[in-house]
Amino acid sequence: MLIWPAYLVMISAIISGSALAVERIARSYGFATRWTWAAALAVSLTLPLALSSMRKRPAMVVTTSASQQKAVAGNYRADARLAPVASPALTLAGSVSQRFDSALEVAWLISSFAVTVTLLGGLWYGDRRRRHWKKSSIGHTAILVARDTGPATVGLLHPQIVIPEWLLAAAPGELDLVIAHERRHIEARDNLLLTFGLGLATLMPWNAILWWQVRRLRLAIEVDCDSRVLRGSPDVRRYAKALVAVSLRRSACLVGLSAAPRSISSIERRLHIMSTPKVRGWRASSAALAVLAVGVVATCFLITPPAIPLARAGMGVNVVPASVQRYVGSYRMSSISVMRIELQKGQLFALSSGTPPQKLTRLSSHRYRFGRYDAYVRFAVNSAGQVNGLVFQQNGAVTEAPRIGGGGVDAVKKLVAERVHAQTATLGSASALRHLIRSIQSGKPDYSELSPQLAAGTRALLHHLQAKLTPLGALRSVDFLGVNSLGWDRYVVHLQHGTADVDIALDAYGIVVGAGITHLREDSRPL
């Protein structure tokens, strides 16, 4: 989550550098500069989103050839009874990260809401005060006269000029210039432009670069307004004198009511700009600044954007895109198990035999969280955009499951049905079970004989499994009981001080893909 705000700040800074170069070029030739900063604010928000949405991710291809199936033999989901889906350590780390991301998202929303309420509150307060101001007119211009506010332009849809009472006693020429300045603001709709900039900044109130851009927009609005006034009254010395006189006695203005910066430094900057001669003709420095501006913006495309964060994605809120229907289908997890992805009321669920449906929560493009566990499903998409498999991630292990059609599903069901009907132990399952029990008790399991998922789960819970099996003593014998409804072999394991009911499943290559202890008990048989 922290990567995304850092990326937004970085892009805002790059855009600001380009805007400074463009502003300098436009100002040297006497062009308006307020649009430069309005565009900088808009681009600072929209460009990161556009770049992130266009980011291409490498497609994951799942093949189904016999040689490749053998190479990844055993990369299938383990039974939850011996190797639970959630590793406690990984679950704890994941939940801490999710809580941190959720806290940042909530802080972001609260800060945006607080800033928005502050700005709206300023507008509301100003509107209430405006009702008590006196209506008057100077020449053909209607104005409002306040005791301690102005000069400024107030209101959004129907802006009005407000001046303080003391300004009425100023020299006529000075008052006329002030009215002309505020009237140019109204004619150019500068109040709406500033509101647009403030509105964009409230979307990311923690981004100091955006607020700096708003400050530059305020100054640019005033500089452009000075330029428009001087076109009708070209006496720069007289206008500058009036500007200084008014700025020294300017009253406090309400939040969001005026675009004019109040600081002495901004007044000095405006005086310097209006007294600087404009450039005529082509200059190499202007061309160099233009190239610099383009080059600075181009660096945005060289920075790899992060994925767009989904609000509260880690908190279980699922966002389902329109194309989610393409994920629905069957995926072969092993020679005897299939995961079925279904869409129920706009929500994806994973269904496997013998386990309850698990909700899939979208985290990023093609990647979903599996239930409430620290396990994930990523759908594999080929270059043509077709979903041809999924990758199941659990306990640091990966399972590649190719997508199969109705014929493949029927073949798996037929194989399981034949095992259940025959009630015959799979070749090698008894010896594999003996080796698994003894290796767990010794603390040195042979993970090469287990599927990656089962190996990862066993590794994570080895101490727990040892604590359950070691007190029962050495292995005596195993007795075959039958085949359960999933096609797994059922055994009763006789130990020195007790017994355990264990289910075990092997794939076609003799790899243990599932094992589950269903019951442990003391054995009263004589030794």
Please tell me the predicted confidence (pLDDT) of residue 127: 79
pLDDT, the chain, mean: 80
Q: Could you check whether the bond before residue 277 is cis, i.e. omega within 30 degrees of 0?
A: no
DSSP 415-445: HHHHHHHHT-PPTTHHHHHHHHHHHHHHT--
Residue with tokens 């055994």: 491
Angle at 348 between CA 345 and CA 350, to 5 degrees: 130
Q: Spell out a b/e string for 354-369, using b for 16 or more CB atoms within 10 Å of the CB, else e.
A: ebeebbbbbbeebbbb
Rounded to the nearest 10°, the torsion over CA 170, 175, 181, 186 is 110
- Higher-pLDDT residue of 262 and 87 is 262
| Listed range (175-184, 248-257, 275-284, 398-407) with the worst mean pLDDT | 248-257
pLDDT in tens, 142-189: 888 888 787 888 887 888 888 888 888 877 788 888 888 989 999 999
263-277 per-position pLDDT tens digit: 667 888 888 888 888
| CATH for the stretch 66-93+320-411 | 2.40.128.50
Secondary structure (DSSP) of 354-411 = TS--EEEEEEETTEEEETTSSEEEEEEE-TTS-EEEEEEEETTEEEEEEEE-HHHHHH
Most confident stretch, 28-42, 61-75, 285-299, 503-517: 28-42
Question: Within a 10 A sphere around the Cβ of 394, how many other Cβ atoms?
Answer: 26
Residue ranges per domain, the chain? 3-54+95-114+179-302, 66-93+320-411, 418-522
Q: Rounded to the nearest 10 degrees, what angle do helices 34-53 and 190-203 cross at? A: 30
* Mean pLDDT within 23-38: 91
pLDDT at 60: 35
Instruction: Map residue 1 onto helix, strand or coil.
Output: coil
Structure confidence by residue, pLDDT tens digits, 177-186: 888 898 999 9
Can you give the pLDDT at residue 308? 54
Which H/E stretch holds residue 453? helix 452-460
Which of the 8 DSSP states describes residue 166? G
Distance separating the N- and C-terminal Cα atoms of the chain = 60
Protein fold of 418-522: Nuclear Transport Factor 2; Chain: A, (3.10.450)
